[in-house]
Amino acid sequence: MSEVEPGHQKPPVYESKDVNESPHSDVESAEGKIAPLHRNLHNRHMQMIAIGGAIGAGLFVNTGAALRAGGPGSLLICYLIVGFMLLQTMWALGELAVMYPVNGAYFDYSLRFLDPSWGFAMGWDYAINWLVILPFEITAAGLTIRYWRDDLNIGIWIAVFLTVLSVIQVFGVRGYGEVEFILSIIKVTALTGFIILGIVIDCGGAPVGGYIGGKYWHNPGAFTDFVGFCSVFTTAAFAFGGTEMSGLAAAESANPAKSIPKACKQVFWRIMLFYVIGTLIVGLIVPHDADYLLNASGAGNTSYSPFVVSIKNAGISGLPSVMNVVITLSVISVANSATFGSTRTIQAMAEKGMAPKFFAYIDKHGRPIYCVLLQIAFGFLAFINEASSGSQIFTWLLALSGISNFFVWGSVCLAHIRFRAAWKYNGRSTDELAYVAPWGVYGSYIGLGLNILCLIAEFYVSVQPLDVQAFFENYLAAPIVIALYAFWRIYSAWTKDPTVEKRGWKLWRSVDEIDVFTGIRDTALDVDLAPRVKYDTWGEWVKALPMRLLRSIA
């Protein structure tokens, strides 16, 4: 039996119609002659985007609310489940992104391998998600300052952070990459330090508190109730949201066939080290019935973050302020990612005629400038906090993004399944792929199934109060996705626009309709790829496993 280790291999050179293939030539768009996106993200950028880019308020602050709702056992189990699900998604996304490093990755893959209507729904769902997260993260960044100065109006800090983000956009994708590289290093270093410190606090090495051990798992307990357990899935999805950004960045990566597989490997260690071990430590040193956790939410004062309060309660001076600085920088980092995620998706949709045509424009510096202006305009929604009803408005804005990650991640897994079916239908082998998902199509089936289970769990939580408002606050993204899908179905059926694909009422593309060759990355642009390794027997594969795991860290 022959087993192929997931890795790199130069596939045959196919004709590529990817407009981003040449970083120097201009391309035609609906708005005239424009410059393509620039491939200015290098390996170090992709590595840090993967390992630390999405760590923000979802982990540092919202973890407290999840701990309160479900208990430390629920927190650990749900983060493990969502982390494992996301790992399968990232492997699938890595295979697709290396093969097709096109702008608007998730949107394009749903469009190409599933159905245009579903692609339209996923593209706008993802874009809306990041459009509304930006003002939320800017608000959260402003509120972190209250830890030191609660006498200053939050509008001051919203203006400051919005200005900083606007300046970053001037430098295009290189600015995004450099900012994420620096901030991710800070976040990774701080979280590593917190885990070590948390172990010391739990073992009784802190000035105050003494030995804790597993006491809080017994009293007040590891779990609250089943509804609390299910509710943690949404918090976990929000905390993990943005991990998929490295796939979106493939279109602007200098060498996706080399950097993306490495970035996908780093996701495993980020999930295990920062999310799983980090939340385990929090659950050990913070009781889930602590009163201050009632105020722990993404837009709340970080004075109630379990990462900050646990250090303060241990009698350690100075470090709580340091952790609060890290949280502030983390929130700015996620806001920066929000701008990147929405602008690239909207620009890709405009090129396909699924968004206003002027959004397709890219200037000579590789910036989708009109998309950036739209995202910055959404940032001004953060000033809603100045209104008396600001918190309620924000609740509804965030409802738009509540469960959208599950739809996007599930679509990536399903697109990978359909890609493999079409690839096989065209007589192609996985040996021809530059990168192969370690668990193959089976991992995508697992990822898709877990995404569906998480949606069911959140639906169960949403209908428990038997309150219409509570249901839509938790589950609004679902009817939005259905409405977007139905809209494009109806529009494409009745429009006379010749550029819109007419598909009737077919559920999805059959394998013979799927184009697996357009947009394939020209292998002449992929350099210094490590050779693929083949194993003749399963025994050899198992024997080589320790060394492969060590290589995956690098």
* Termini Cα distance of the chain: 29
pTM of the prediction? Answer: 0.86
Q: Which of 256-260, 297-301, 391-395, 507-511 has the highest mean pLDDT?
A: 507-511
Report the length, in residues, of the chain.
554
3 state SS of 208: coil
- Encoded tokens for 352: 């396909």
Which residues, 6+ apart, have CB-to-CB distance to 53 below 8 Å?
Answer: 180, 184, 242, 243, 245, 246, 333, 337
Per-residue pLDDT, averaged over 476-494, amounts to 91
d(CA 554, CA 187): 19
Instruction: Give pLDDT, residue 5.
Output: 43
d(CA 139, CA 148): 16
Instruction: Give pLDDT, residue 43.
Output: 66
Domain annotation covers residue 24: no
Instruction: Give pLDDT, residue 550.
Output: 60
Q: What is the largest CA-CA distance in the chain?
A: 73
Domain annotation covers residue 315: yes
Which has the minimum average pLDDT: 32-36, 210-214, 513-517?
32-36
d(CA 109, CA 519): 11
Instruction: Give pLDDT, residue 15.
Output: 42
d(CA 130, CA 405): 11
- The partner residues of 29 in beta bridges, in order of sequence, read 32
d(CA 294, CA 66): 10
Q: Which of 339, 336, 373 is nearest to 356 (CA)?
A: 373
Instruction: Give pLDDT, residue 211.
Output: 93
Domain annotation covers residue 22: no
Q: How many domains, in total, are found in the chain?
A: 1
Q: DSSP for 278-289, please give it.
A: HHHHHHHHS-TT
- Split at pLDDT 50, 70, 90, the class of 529 is low
Q: pLDDT tens across 376-429, in order?
A: 999 998 888 776 665 677 677 777 777 888 999 999 999 999 999 999 999 988
- Encoded tokens for 365: 């510096």
Q: pLDDT tens across 278-291, in order?
A: 999 999 999 999 88
Instruction: Give pLDDT, residue 8.
Output: 41
Task: List C-alpha distances in Å: 179 to 106, 310, 332.
Answer: 24, 29, 10
d(CA 105, CA 250): 8
- Split at pLDDT 50, 70, 90, the class of 549 is low
Which residues, 6+ apart, have CB-to-CB distance to 100 below 8 Å?
Answer: 18, 108, 109, 112, 519, 520, 521
Instruction: Give pLDDT, residue 3.
Output: 39
pLDDT exceeds 70 at position 524: no
* Helical pair 172-202 and 278-285, crossing angle rounded to 10 deg: 40
Full 3-state SS string of 26-76: CEEECCEEECCCCCCECHHHHHHHHHHCCCCHHHHCHHHHHHHHHHHHHHH
Which residues, 6+ apart, have CB-to-CB distance to 535 below 8 Å?
Answer: 2, 3, 4, 5, 541, 544
Instruction: Give pLDDT, residue 297.
Output: 56
Please give the DSSP secondary-structure letter assigned to residue 7: S
Domain annotation covers residue 29: no
Q: pLDDT tens across 360-369, in order?
A: 998 887 888 9
Q: Which of 552, 132, 43, 102 is nearest to 342 (CA)?
A: 132
Domain annotation covers residue 20: no
Neighbours of 167 (CB within 10 A): 10
Instruction: Give pLDDT, residue 318.
Output: 86
Q: pLDDT tens across 88-122, in order?
A: 998 999 899 888 887 777 888 999 999 999 999 99
Domain annotation covers residue 34: no
Give the gyration radius of the chain's Cα atoms. 23
Neighbours of 429 (CB within 10 A): 10
Domain annotation covers residue 33: no
d(CA 235, CA 226): 15
Q: Which of 92, 79, 75 is nearest to 283 (CA)?
A: 75
CATH of the domain at 408: 1.20.1740.10
Which has the minimum average pLDDT: 309-323, 389-403, 456-470?
389-403
Which residues, 6+ apart, have CB-to-CB distance to 95 below 8 Å?
Answer: 416, 419, 433, 435, 436, 437
Q: pLDDT tens across 162-183, in order?
A: 999 888 888 877 788 888 888 8
Q: Which of 273-277, 382-386, 454-458 has the highest mean pLDDT?
A: 454-458
Task: List C-alpha distances in Å: 237 to 75, 98, 446.
Answer: 12, 25, 17
Domain annotation covers residue 30: no
Instruction: Give pLDDT, residue 1.
Output: 37
- The partner residues of 32 in beta bridges, in order of sequence, read 29
Q: Look up the domain containing 425 and give its range.
A: 3-14+40-553
Q: pLDDT tens across 11-38, in order?
A: 443 344 443 443 333 334 333 344 466 5
Mean pLDDT of the chain: 81
